[in-house]
Structure formats: structure tokens, C-alpha cells
Structure 1
Amino acid sequence: MMRWAGSMSRDTSGTVKHSPLSAAMAHTIVKLTVKDVRFPTSLEQHGSDAMHTDPDYSVAYVVLDTDCGLRGFGFTFTLGKGTEIVVCAVEALSALVVGKCLQEIVSDFRAFYRLLTSDDQMRWLGPEKGVIQLATAAVLNAVWDLWARAEGKPLWKLLVDMDPEQIVSCIDFRYITDVLTEKEALDILMKAQAGKQQREDEMLKKGYPAYTTSCAWLGYTDQQLKQLCTDALKSGWTKFKMKVGADLEDDIRRCRLIREMIGPNNTLMIDANQRWDVAEAISRVSRLAEFKPLWIEEPTSPDDVLGHATISKALAPLGIGVATGEQCQNRVMFKQLLQASALQFVQIDSCRLGSVNENLAVLLMAHKFQVPVCPHAGGVGLCELVQHLILFDYVCVSASLDNRMCEYVDHLHEHFTSPVVIQDAHYMPPKDPGYSCEMLDSSVQRHEYPEGEEWKLLMK
């Protein structure tokens, strides 16, 4: 296992040289606080789909306090009920974090990742899946935010500036070495060093291409859909995703409506949110093929690797790919999806997997299999987080924008201290230090469940 005691540089011979970590890294975590924060988005059907008809976008929100005053912020995304369970899981993990020095954590981040995911008793609740994995992501997101703040960099820049060896040292390769070894990962990152600065400059100037899901939630009326599509087209959007899966005839009607709105040359994707059995998915999507969707997202159970493979094979002659991953629970599931040629678009999630560490593994595996990564975002705060990961992917891993785009949903960004910036349907790289996780204190207080003012008013 590689350990790093500080930042690294190379001399002219290519030898890695280590320099001491900055004094700012000497922070000790003295307190972990977690809160249940919920937004009543179900009232206006924001986020509604075929399986989640009344979602309340929510987070288990983590704050790490240090002895030097610096704080780290993180969260994991939920849909309302059940957030309190994730909060309990975070509290159960807190003893593994409080008392740790940031320098101690990041000098052997792989070991710290395993500390959280492999506790000999709590791993029984997973391992590396379910509520315990969501809680792990919330805690680790806060640790990464703390590290980026200590270095005075946005997270994407912290990652981009790391040497390939240090990136690899953050990843737990256990269970995936039959597909990706440390050496292969290092080779991928080393190869991508060529042109790295030009790609970073390109992102700073133009941003990363995005697509919108905000126009066509399943619970929206036709009038809402038309108005939102009209507004989006005026704002420069060319890639649109819509929800399907409740009723076939209604899906056909709505697909026809949105295709007429956006025209034949813009990109359309459809998302069933796990609604169908395998044969049903093939039949339904075949009926929608006339509208030329680029992909069908989550056509069946997110755990059904071979089912996705069957669907992918059946839809390939129609030119329709399969996208999945927003509820893929760990790197091992992604490994199997890639091995089985079960997906044509990898959708990482910044809170479903074990934070940045595990997402790094998936980005590298996807590159090895030459499958484009198109992250899941939306919800509350997911756009803020995943933009950092996809920027790193382009600059340091894939070096390609072919068939690549990052989801964007125009909800709840006003509750963050560093909200996403979209220009001409592109994510502009964040500039503030950290992982863009910090929420406004006023928003947290108003929406904390069930004692926040927002929920007291709704429960009257």
C-alpha cells in the first residue's frame, strides 16, 4: 500500500520527490455534527418519476469541526422519509472520524476509506451498500471538502494537481483487481498527463457540457413541459432528458410533444427509474424508438447486471444505449456492468458510492472499457458535487468529450454558499475552496426536519 506524507513533484529524471504537508494540514477533527435537512419538493412535483412520485429532496448534512477552526461540509442525498436512518448511520461512524488528524487521513487515504467501510461489526449492515454506504459517503464528502479547504483549492483542482501516484493511493482496489490493477490505473493517469494543462484551460474557458432534466418531470403538466422547453431552448440547451415509465400511451404522447418542441437535431434521453422487468423494458423502449432517444436510463432493477446486458443487446440495433449507475451501490457493481457490456453510459453519483475515493475507481474502470461517463446529478446539491468529479475525469482520465455530458437540474441551488454556475449549457469550474458542499446556515435551520420553520408550517 502506498503512503504519502506530503505533496509530490518530479525532478527531470522523473523521480518522485516528496515535500512536507503544509502546516494547514495539521487540523484535528474534534466534532462531527449531522442534521436531517428536507425540502418539500413534492408539493410542486419537482423530481417526480415513475417510481418516486412524491419526492422531498433531502440530505443528511455533515459538518466536521477542527481544533484550528477550519470546517468541512458534506452530505448524502435522500428523498425525505428515511433520512433519519442515514443520520443514525452517520452518528455510528462518527467515532471513527473524531480525533483523527487531517494529515493522518490524507497521508494514507486508502486505509482511512477502509476504516469506514470495513469496521468488522458495522460492515455487516452493508458491506459497502445501503444506508451504511450513504452514511460513509456523507462523512467522506466532508473529509474531502475539509482537505480541499485546507489546501485553498476547489476539489476538482485539488485532484487535478495531484500526481498520478497520489490519486492511486486514495483508491481501494480490493475486489476490482481482476479488471483494474494499481499499475493499470497509474498507466491511465500517466498517459493522460499529455495535454492536461490545455484541457484544464479549456474547462476554465468553456466549461463542461451539460444536459437538463428540469423540463419534463413525470408529474409536470403539458403546459409546464412546453413552457420549460421553450425557456431552455432560448437559454442554449440542446440536450434534454424526460421521465417515462408510468403509462405507455402517455409516454408516446409526451415523447412526441417534447421531440416536436426541441426539434430533430437536439438530443433526447429517456429515464424509467427502474420501472420495468427486462422483457417489458425492451418492448416499451422499442415503441419509443421513433423519437430517437440516445439512451434509456435505469430500465430495470439497478442490481440486475445480466438484465441490463440483455436490454443493451436488444436495443443496440435501434441505436439506443443503456445508461445506469445513480443507484449502483459500489465499484464492484460497476465492474460487473462493464464486464457484461450491460451499459453504454456510466452514471456515477457523488453520494451513492463511497465518496470521491470510490468514484475515482469507477472513472478509471470506465476509461479502460471505453464507456463514456455521464454523471447523475440533480436532487439537492448533487450538481454542486459531481461537477468536480467530471472535470477531473476530462482533465486527468478520459481526455475526451465524445458522447459525454453531465446532468443538470435547476432546483435548490440557492441554498448553497457556492452554487453551480451554468453558462451556455456548460458547468463552469468552481473557484471557491472545497467540495461545494456547504449550505447556508439559514437554509439548514429553516428546513431541518421536523423542527425547522418550513416543516412546522407544513405540519400545522
Structure 2
Amino acid sequence: MMSAQSATRIRGLSVRDIRFPTSMDLLGSDSIHPDPDYSCAYVIIYTDTMLKGHGLSFTIGRGNDLVVMAVKSLAHVVVGREIRALFSDFGSFWRELTSESQLRWVGPEKGVIHLAVAAITNALFDLWARIETKPLWKLLVDLEPEVLVSTIDFRYIGDVLTKEEAIALLRERREGAAKREVEMLQNGYPAYTTACGWLGYSDEKITRLVQDFLTQGWRHFKVKVGQDLEDDIRRCRLIRKLIGNDNVLMVDANQKWDVDQAVEWMRHLAPFRPLWIEEPTSPDDVLGHATVAKALRPLGIGVATGEMAQNRVIFKQLLQADAIDFCQIDACRMGGVPEVLAVYLMAAKFGVPVCPHAGGVGLCEMVQHLQLWDYICLSGSTDKRLIEYVGSLGHHFRFGVNIKNCSYMPPKFPGYSTEMKRETLKDHEYPYGAVWRDLFAQGLFRDPKAAPPSWIEHKEDEPVTHR
């Protein structure tokens, strides 16, 4: 499974707080997050050879430091590991990482801790692919089903999918895999764009961007909704008119609505024929999603969610409850590659297409690998399947995505495409990088080092006073 010259031991782990001031031009703005600063906790795993693994977990600004601290708190589980042993039974290691006896209490397998698990796990899979000198998608494609399945922790999902079922499913769908791989290498995987539909954009900017994307050949567009119904109707009407009746429109509410509100709001948007409504309500409300899906299917509108689904258990229940028509995995919200693979396998069993959430920092770079594996080894179809694409920060990665004819072309370089450029890491590290120092000096952002504390110390038996 692993080459004879592979690295033998992990000797260290570093993590950095990397942020981009995207709130300045409202990139990423939606109904819940009006001013995101796209960020990531960036992990490098060092071995006793020259090989390194690069991984990350995406956030949108404040709170990124919490993920960085969580990574540091989990580092002791990783450093010192013998690499062959780690990858020969990654599922057991992953369970150990997510079951650290005290840190699990502030999860478990969710929230900040799980974002940290994702950053570490993504770096380890990047390392594994580099050891094998393959892009990650090719590593996954070439793994025997038993080895791939050994990376997954089946605890909590065995009532829906067992190890044996997963292996059988992969073996059953092997036929034609080589042909599908050639097809992907030639044509790539189809994508859709969200880059023209951010909620904070003016009609003029939306019009210009949509027209630009149409000229480039794009045919699938997503727009953010949920803040104001009349504004959503106007914007959807504008975009539908721009893209015409033959192209595809999706809408995304980013968890803004209550269940009944979601149904009512989407009835008003139904004339614009959206393919799906994404995140119509709380990401944890499985039965709420089922209610919305049941109400909207007669209107020809599907329900998509998963960007903020905490773990494989939520996805298991969404699938069991027939609550989603499109499964939207995220490469960082769950605990990295193996947990995402578990969701792909469950979705395949239930016959629900996977359309990954992407954009942000590094998400496009990562999910292309996962979706290529799914097509070649599992689903064998691109019907109702697309990868989201927002390329605004892609130039910060050494091996960024290659979009051709509105499709992701398979990466050729070893790894998970997660390695950032040195200049980016230096300039965008928060709060000491040159980009942030300049913004603080211009008064465009508040310097956290100069800001007064939002709390004051108190003496014992005195009430805490907040400013």
C-alpha cells in the first residue's frame, strides 16, 4: 500500500491563522453571514524525511483562532506516530483522534473540535498521497475497497451502512471504472458558479458577472436568498431573465428560515424554477428538512443541505428521513476525508446525488478530488451532480484548480491540492502578516493587539462587570 521509501514517523505539526479581508468587497455575503473574512486554520505535518502534509479547515474570520488552538490541543495525538501503522488502520486512529478523553467533551465530533480534526486529517491524507506520488483522487481510486473502507469509522452509522456493505458496494461498482477515469481526464467534472450571486452585490454587479459567466459558457448559477422576500423575487427575476429558461438556477438561504417560513418563501420563488433550495433551515433539524422537502417536491424544487452538517450521523438521519434531494458534503465541516467518504457511501446506498459545497478557502481544491473518486468508483454518473466553484482565492494555492469548459480538470500533482504559497502564508497570517498590518494602519480593520479588552478582572466574591 505504501512505497518502500515512505516516511516513517511524524516529527511535528504546525498550525497558522490565515485570513483574507473578503468582507471589504462583500465576497461570500449571505443572509446569515453579511461580512465574512474567508479564513483557514492551516496545518503542516512534518515527517522525518523531506515530505510534509498540508491541510486546512475553513472558517469566515473571528473564531479561526479557536480552531487553531483546538489543533494545538490535538497535536499530541498525532506527533510521534509511525506512518505505516497509522495508514494501515486509519479508521482506528481517526476514532482515537475524535475520542481524546477530555477534548471530546467539548465536541463530541462537532463544532470547533471537529473543524480541527478536519484540518489535521486533511493534512494526513495530503501526506499519504504525496508519499504515493499521486493526486489524492487517484490514490483513493487505486485503493482496494478493503483498504479504503478501513479508513472510515463506522461507529454510529452501522445501522445504515456496515463495513461489509461498503466493501460490497465498491466492488459492485468497479466495472467501467477505468473508462470513467479516462473520461474525467479528458472532459473534467461539471461545475456551477456562486460567484455572481452574493447577497451584498448590487444589481449592476450581478448583471455584469452573470453576463461574463455566460460568455465563458457557464450554464448553472446559484444566488443567495433569505434576507428580504421582495428583494429575493427581484433578484431571482433578474438572474432568470439574464440566464434564460434553458439554464439552471439554484437558491441558498444559509439556514435563515423557520420550517414553515421556508415553505412559504419558496412558494413565492417557485416561478423562477430553482433546482434546489439550499440550507432552508437549521442544519441540525432533520425532520424540519423532511417537512420542507415534502412540501416543495410537488413544485419541482429539491432540498439541498450539508455545508454545516456536523458529522456523518446528521447525514445518516437526513438520508433516512428522505429529507434531502441533494447531499452537500463539505471537506472541512466534518472530520476530514474518511468521514466524508462515509457520507458518499451512504448517499450512494440511498440513491441521493452528492453536490459538494465549495468556494471559501481551499474547498474547491479539496472537493474536486472527492467528487472525481465518487464518479469513478461509486456513482458512475454526473446526472444531477455538480461541484460548486468560486475561484476568488484559488491563486493562493501552489496547485490551484484547473477549470476548463466550466468543468474541474483532474489534478495531476501529488497530494490534496491544499498547499498554499509561501508568500500567502507570510502576508495573510493574522494578525502579523503584511496585509493585515497595512489594513490596521489604514484603520480599515481594528487591530486586535491595540484593542482594549472586552472584560475586566474582578476580585473574589465581586460580580463580574462587562463593558
- Into which bin does the TM-score normalised by the smaller protein fall? over 0.9
Q: How far apart in 1 are the matches of 2:261 and 2:278?
A: 14
**2:422 is aligned with 1:441:** yes
Instruction: Give the Å deviation of 1:37.
Output: 0.3
**2:222 is aligned with 1:241:** yes
Q: How far apart in 2 are the matches of 1:374 and 1:230?
A: 24
Instruction: Give the Å deviation of 1:115.
Output: 1.2
What is aligned with 2:302? 321
What is aligned with 2:370? 389
Aligned with 1:379 (options 348, 360, 369):
360
What is aligned with 2:77? 96
Aligned with 2:144 (options 163, 175, 180):
163
Q: How far apart in 2 are the matches of 1:454 and 1:101?
A: 38
What is aligned with 1:312? 293
Query: Contact between 1:348 and 1:373, CA under 8 Å: does it hold in 2?
Result: yes
**TM-score, structure 2 as length reference:** 0.94
Gaps of 5+ in 2: 442-467
Instruction: Give the Å deviation of 1:413.
Output: 0.6
- Cα distance per residue 1:299-335 (max 9 Å; x no partner): 0000000000000000011000000000001000000
Alignment of 1:278-293 (within 5 A): 278-293=259-274
Query: Contact between 2:90 and 2:151, CA under 8 Å: does it hold in 1?
Result: yes
SS of structure 2 residue aligned to 1:116: helix
SS of structure 1 residue aligned to 2:37: coil
What is aligned with 1:337? 318
Q: How many residues align?
A: 441
Aligned with 1:60 (options 38, 41, 44):
41
Q: How far apart in 2 are the matches of 1:211 and 1:167?
A: 29
Q: How far apart in 1 are the matches of 2:94 and 2:371?
A: 21
RMSD (Å) for aligned C-alpha atoms? 0.7
- Cα distance per residue 1:182-207 (max 9 Å; x no partner): 11111110011100000000000000
What is the percentage of aligned positions where both structures have the same residue? 61
What is aligned with 1:206? 187
- Cα distance per residue 1:228-285 (max 9 Å; x no partner): 0011011110000000001000000000000000000100000000000000000000
SS of structure 2 residue aligned to 1:379: coil
Instruction: Give the Å deviation of 1:121.
Output: 1.3
Alignment of 1:167-206 (within 5 A): 167-206=148-187
Aligned with 2:122 (options 134, 141, 144):
141
Instruction: Give the Å deviation of 1:27.
Output: 2.8
Residue type of the alignment partner of 1:177: G
Deviating beyond 6 angstroms after TM superposition, the runs of 4 or more aligned structure 1 residues are: none
Residue type of the alignment partner of 1:79: I
Instruction: Give the Å deviation of 1:26.
Output: 3.4
**2:168 is aligned with 1:220:** no
Instruction: Give the Å deviation of 1:65.
Output: 1.0
- Cα distance per residue 1:171-191 (max 9 Å; x no partner): 111110110011111111001
What is aligned with 1:4? none
What is aligned with 1:16? none
Q: How far apart in 2 are the matches of 1:299 and 1:178?
A: 27
Query: Contact between 1:96 and 1:116, CA under 8 Å: does it hold in 2?
Result: yes
- Cα distance per residue 1:283-306 (max 9 Å; x no partner): 000100000000000000000000
Query: Contact between 2:325 and 2:352, CA under 8 Å: does it hold in 1?
Result: yes
SS of structure 1 residue aligned to 2:40: strand
SS of structure 1 residue aligned to 2:255: coil
Q: How far apart in 1 are the matches of 2:427 and 2:100?
A: 35
Q: How far apart in 1 are the matches of 2:46 and 2:7?
A: 13
What is aligned with 1:361? 342
**2:398 is aligned with 1:417:** yes
Q: How far apart in 1 are the matches of 2:7 and 2:438?
A: 44
Q: How far apart in 1 are the matches of 2:294 and 2:240?
A: 25
SS of structure 2 residue aligned to 1:360: helix
- Cα distance per residue 1:59-93 (max 9 Å; x no partner): 00001111111111000000000000000000001
**2:114 is aligned with 1:124:** no
What is aligned with 1:252? 233
Q: How far apart in 2 are the matches of 1:220 and 1:244?
A: 12
Aligned with 1:47 (options 22, 28, 37):
28
Instruction: Give the Å deviation of 1:104.
Output: 1.5
**TM-score, structure 1 as length reference:** 0.95
What is aligned with 2:454? none
Residue type of the alignment partner of 1:324: T
Q: How far apart in 1 are the matches of 2:155 and 2:202?
A: 47
Instruction: Give the Å deviation of 1:25.
Output: 2.5
